[in-house]
Amino acid sequence: MASASAGTPGFPVLAAIALACLPCFLSIASSSAPTAPPHDTPDTDLQALLCLKLRLSGTTGAMASWRNDSAQYCSWPGVTCSKRHTSRVVSLALDSASLHGQIPPCIGNLTFLRSVHLPNNKLNGQIPPELGNLNHLTYLNLSYNGLTGMIPNSLSSCSRFQIIDLANNFLDALGYCKNLEALNLSHNSFSGSIPKELFTLSALAEGLDLSHNQLSGEIPLEIGGLINLESLNISNNQLSGIIPSTLGDCMHLESLHMEGNLLHGAIPKPFINLRGVTEMDLFQNNLSGEIPEFFESLTSMKLLNVSFNNLQGPVPTGGIFQNTGEVFIQAFPQKIDEVLDPYITSSSEDGDLDNNSDHGNNATDSVDSCIVQLVKLSLLCSMETPKDRPTMQDVYAEVITIKEAFAALHG
């Protein structure tokens, strides 16, 4: 009998990792130990596992080694059983295990499941609603599969999930859960505006990752409700409008990624409250106005990327700006005059720039034809992709031109 012989369950490494990832209060959850529903027979879990094998694994998949004549299913690769209810499966963990096909409803018979970790497989079709009925499930990781369709209501109305990772699928509807600490829906095909309800998930502390979707419209003001959130990534969508100043209410933010959207307007003043922020990436939007001077006072900041926007005016000089290696304020080369510290330009117009020189030359010319050209050239040389960078011959020719222009100015 399955239950009798399964007394020494194996703990495969993957399962151990998956469980180790769970936040510590999971142990509280597990202290309210599941009790077996009356209809469960001792081999319910064995039958459900064999059903999964039949539907998800051919001869190549990791489940192929699950021998149907062996009652020792607790030591099958990827299967972990409960220590107290020794015949009940609490964790399924098969990362990159060549599983394919649609997750069958029989997974809903593994009623003690707390953790399902099946990333990097070729699971497709819809997520079965039966998954949402697993009352003890707190961790669900189906990232990097080919799942499609909507997230079932039974999942999205759940109140017990702490982690759901459905990144890299083709899902097209957003779900949300009350006790969720982390939600990763990146690299899906979510479109339309971000549902406001998402921002009522005040338990979300670890992270919200909606990056690499086709989300559009404005960022709802309600985003300020995520007061415990440490990491927000809404990069690489088509979000437009201004950055809501309520985002400054998310005072626990450590990482803010909004790059690759269509956001415009100024960087909001309340960002001064983001005192714990270590990285802020606003790269490639259409933000305008000045780079706020208060960034100097955000002393935790390690990375600031405001490149490829329409920012103007002087670049602050204190705080993080002292360490140019961590600040990206690149602009398109043609915008260089706006990004250059106006001090350089204005002082040069006053003639101060060459007050050591006795040649009586034209300082404005020297800025325009030498310094600006040189900065443009160095920006071109630092373009991200090699094909955008000029060839060595072109650089040489340009340097010679600049040198000649300079020589001409200085007689």
Ligand X SMILES: *[C@@H]1O[C@H](CO)[C@@H](O)[C@H](O)[C@H]1NC(C)=O
Residues that bind ligand X in the complex, under the rule CB under 6 A? 21, 41, 44, 47, 51, 68, 95, 105-106, 109, 119-120, 141, 143, 163, 165, 167-168, 182, 184, 186-187, 207, 209, 211-212, 231, 233, 255, 257, 262, 264, 281, 283, 286, 288, 305, 307, 310, 328, 330, 352, 355, 362, 364-365, 384
Bridge-based pairing state of the strands 89-93 and 79-81: antiparallel
Q: Are 270 and 294 in contact (CB under 8 A)?
A: no
CA 3 – CA 73 distance, rounded (Å): 9
Q: Which is nearer to ligand X, 88 or 212 (CB)?
A: 212
Dihedral of the alpha carbons of 47, 49, 51, 53, in degrees to the nearest 10: -140
Q: Taking the complex as a whole, how short is the minimal distance between the CB of residue 227 and ligand X, in angstroms?
A: 18
How far apart CA 266 and CA 289 sit, in angstroms, is: 5
Per the listing, tokens 């018979």 go with: 109
Stretch (H or E) spanning 336: helix 336-339
CA distance 213 to 404: 50
Minimal distance, residue 58 CB to ligand X, in Å: 11
Of 356 and 396, nearer to ligand X (C-beta) is 356
Residues 369 and 409: beta-carbon distance below 8 Å: yes
CB of 191 to ligand X, least distance (A): 17
- Indicate the SS3 state at residue 232: strand
Distance in angstroms (rounded) separating the CA atoms of residues 138 and 238: 31
Query: Do 133 and 105 meet the contact criterion of CB atoms below 8 Å apart?
Result: no
Comparison of 138 and 184: residue with beta carbon closer to ligand X: 184
Phi and psi for 383 in degrees, rounded to 5? -60, 150
* Cβ contacts of 68 within 8 Å, gap of 6 or more: 50, 53
| Nearer to ligand X among residue 290 and residue 352 (C-beta) | 352
User: Residue holding tokens 């720039």?
Assistant: 353
Measured from the CB atom, the residue of 205 and 396 that comes closer to ligand X is 205
Complex with ligand X: residue 161 or 316, whichever CB lies closer? 161
Shortest Cβ distance from residue 352 to ligand X (Å)? 6
Tell me, what DSSP letter sits at residue 126? Answer: P
Name the residue nearer to ligand X (CB basis): 5 or 393. 5
> Residue 37 Cβ, how far from ligand X at the closest point, in Å?
10
Rounded to the nearest 5°, which phi and psi values hold at 328? -110, 110
For the CB of residue 364, give the shortest distance to ligand X in the complex, in Å: 4
Tell me the residue nearest to ligand X as measured from the CB: 233
Query: How do 122-125 and 170-171 pair as beta strands?
Result: unpaired
CB nearer to ligand X: give 189 or 396. Answer: 189
- For the bound state, the minimum distance from the C-beta of residue 51 to ligand X, rounded and expressed in Å, comes to 6
Least distance (Å) from ligand X to the CB of residue 224? 19
